[in-house]
Amino acid sequence: MGIYKQGLNRKQQLMFPPSLDELVEEDNVARAIEAYVDTLDIFKLKITTKKSLIKDGQQPAFHPKLLLKIYIYGYLNKIRSSRKLELEINRNIEMMWLT
């Protein structure tokens, strides 16, 4: 045994894998964003998608609150590009939790 700490074995299987909620700390900024956006009345702010714009057979739009959470997180972390935001959603645990 050496004088250095050893990392966990990546191939070790867990009996109960942690949920995303367990991986995001209680004082994380993502939780603050979630709490703030959930207090907003999106319809009163007139941030909605008109149903007339959605044609039959098309995918429904993402909820405006979800998009707002993504944009706020990106703004706070200096991520401006929608492509980089998409990469973060697939890579960053905080973004996974938020979306």
Q: Give the other-Cβ count within 10 Å of 98's Cβ.
A: 23
Contacts of 34 (CB under 8 A, 6+ apart): 69, 98
Listed by start position, the domains of the chain span 25-98
pLDDT tens, residue order, the chain (99 aa):
567 777 777 777 776 767 888 889 999 999 999 999 999 988 888 777 666 566 666 777 788 899 999 999 999 999 999 999 999 999 999 999 999
3-state secondary structure 39-52: HCCCCCCCCCCCHH
Q: What is the pTM of this model?
A: 0.75
